[in-house]
């Protein structure tokens, strides 16, 4: 496992996303070796020499890590168990196929992050069942009410709400999640030590607490200011770290539509809420629905139906289960994650199962009860184990 200082150095000198860095990581080089290669301008780093030319002498890794610690944040990388591997590999694997017609203008950014700064709960667990909720900064009463209604329903079924922390619909989504005592994640376009917009300082401070799991996440090092191109790059993470994205109110040229385009290109479910025909604030939503680029949704049940159907019909997962027993083959993706988190012959505590599966405890309990109903697992006091015929 590479040192955090190497990852922090690379995060500072390489403003992601970076195909060049991932090419070296996939070739077997670790972050320590790559960091040394960048510092010494080694010939084998190839195109990464050009990418890092402007910043390679800036080594503030220790300072960045200390600043993050002061903010009760941490740097996570592909080396960490907390890294949301499943979500990122699926999303950017879809992008790499080149089959999507919706990525042609964003292809250079269709790359996984190489490091993320996180303040709050375990990101992998938060994103196991997550919905992106985005929309205009100039939200109407209708848009805010619609957002609150959708989030309230999703929260009651243990979905994490992910958004960008902007004014308007984003803020309404985060606030509704907090009101429902549900986890919510802000994907920020600036350093973890900065608050943007500043009006949301109290909101951001309320999100990651011991009583309510949530997180502030960014791929930019401390001190990085919010800039327009970073918002566009940030949007891909809202789409990638969720199973689907809902847009609530978006004008004809709304920036929120960019996130929906990312969802299309990354193999996620794109959804849009219709608005009043008298309002221009929903023209972008109507356009996506009209051209079959977004599913029309009017309730949390609509959203859950689309996402749960996707989970149950994940083609790649079904191939992996081709020779499994029929009852296991019938499990949805989330049910399978819980089942696989159970040891073959031992019982395990609920929170340990949740941690292994990367899901919240309430959702884990719900799925364990369902697996028990099907006769696949049994409960022993506060622990769970597979039934004897499943060992």
In DSSP notation, 36-57 reads: HHHHHT-GGGTTHHHHTTTTTT
User: What is the pLDDT at residue 323?
Assistant: 42
Q: At what angle do helices 333-340 and 350-357 cross, to 10 degrees?
A: 120
Stretch 234-261: mean pLDDT: 93
Q: Give CA separation, 102 vs 77, 162, 247, 257, 276, in Å.
A: 28, 22, 17, 12, 27
In whole numbers, what is the pLDDT of the chain averaged over residues? 89
pLDDT of amino acid 313: 39
Structure confidence by residue, pLDDT tens digits, 70-116: 999 999 999 999 999 999 999 988 877 766 666 655 667 889 999 99
For the cut 60, the answer to whether the pLDDT of residue 31 exceeds it is: yes
Residue 130: beta bridge partners? 160
Domain boundaries, the chain: 1-59, 107-311, 315-390
- What pLDDT, on the 0 to 100 scale, is given for residue 315? 38
For domain 315-390, give its CATH number from 3.30.950.10, 3.30.70.2190, 1.20.140.10, 1.10.10.10.
Answer: 1.10.10.10
Beta strand 184-187 pairing with 160-163: parallel
Q: Where are the alpha helices (DSSP H) in the chain?
A: 4-13, 19-26, 31-40, 48-51, 61-70, 85-96, 123-126, 141-155, 169-179, 201-206, 228-240, 256-265, 283-290, 300-312, 315-320, 326-329, 333-340, 350-357, 361-373
Question: CATH number of the domain at 107-311, please?
Answer: 3.40.50.450
Q: Please tell me the predicted confidence (pLDDT) of residue 105.
A: 57
Winning range, highest mean pLDDT, from 148-157, 251-260, 350-359, 377-386: 148-157
At 76, phi and psi to the nearest 5?
A: -115, 150
pTM greater than the 0.75 cutoff: yes
Least confident residue range of 103-107, 145-149, 191-195, 263-267: 103-107
């Amino acid at each position: 496992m590479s040192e955090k200082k190497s990852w922090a150095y690379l995060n500072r000198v390489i403003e992601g996303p970076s195909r060049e860095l991932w090419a070296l990581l996939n070739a077997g080089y670790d972050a320590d070796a790559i960091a040394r290669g960048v510092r010494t301008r080694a010939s084998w780093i190839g195109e990464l020499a050009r990418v890092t030319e402007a910043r390679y002498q800036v080594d503030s890794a220790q300072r960045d890590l200390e600043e993050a610690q002061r903010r009760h944040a941490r740097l996570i990388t592909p080396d960490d168990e907390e890294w949301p591997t499943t979500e990122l590999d699926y999303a950017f694997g879809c992008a790499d196929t080149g089959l999507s017609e919706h990525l042609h203008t964003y292809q250079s950014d269709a790359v996984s992050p190489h490091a993320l700064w996180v303040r709050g709960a375990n990101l992998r667990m938060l994103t196991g069942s997550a919905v992106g909720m985005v929309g205009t900064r100039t939200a109407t009463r209708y848009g805010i009410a619609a957002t609150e209604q959708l989030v309230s329903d999703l929260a009651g079924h243990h979905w994490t709400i992910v958004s960008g922390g902007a004014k308007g619909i984003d803020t309404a989504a985060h606030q509704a999640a907090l009101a429902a005592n549900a986890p919510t994640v802000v994907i920020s376009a600036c350093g973890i030590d900065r608050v943007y917009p500043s009006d949301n300082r109290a909101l951001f401070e309320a999100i990651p607490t011991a009583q309510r799991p949530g997180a502030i996440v960014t791929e930019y090092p401390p001190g990085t200011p919010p800039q327009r191109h970073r918002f566009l790059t940030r949007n891909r993470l809202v789409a990638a770290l969720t199973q689907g994205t809902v847009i609530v109110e978006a004008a004809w040229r709304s920036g929120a539509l960019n996130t929906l385009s990312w969802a299309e290109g990354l193999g996620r479910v794109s959804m849009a809420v219709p608005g009043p025909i008298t309002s221009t604030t929903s023209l972008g939503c109507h356009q996506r629905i009209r051209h079959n680029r977004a599913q029309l949704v009017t309730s949390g049940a609509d959203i859950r139906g689309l996402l749960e159907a996707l989970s149950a019909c994940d083609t790649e997962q079904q191939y992996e289960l081709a020779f499994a027993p029929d009852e296991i083959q019938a499990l949805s993706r989330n049910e399978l994650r819980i089942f696989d988190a159970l040891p073959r012959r031992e019982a395990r505590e609920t929170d340990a199962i949740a941690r292994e599966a990367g899901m919240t405890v309430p959702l884990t309990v719900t799925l364990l009860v369902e697996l028990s109903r099907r006769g696949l697992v049994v409960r022993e006091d506060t622990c769970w184990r597979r039934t004897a015929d499943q060992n």
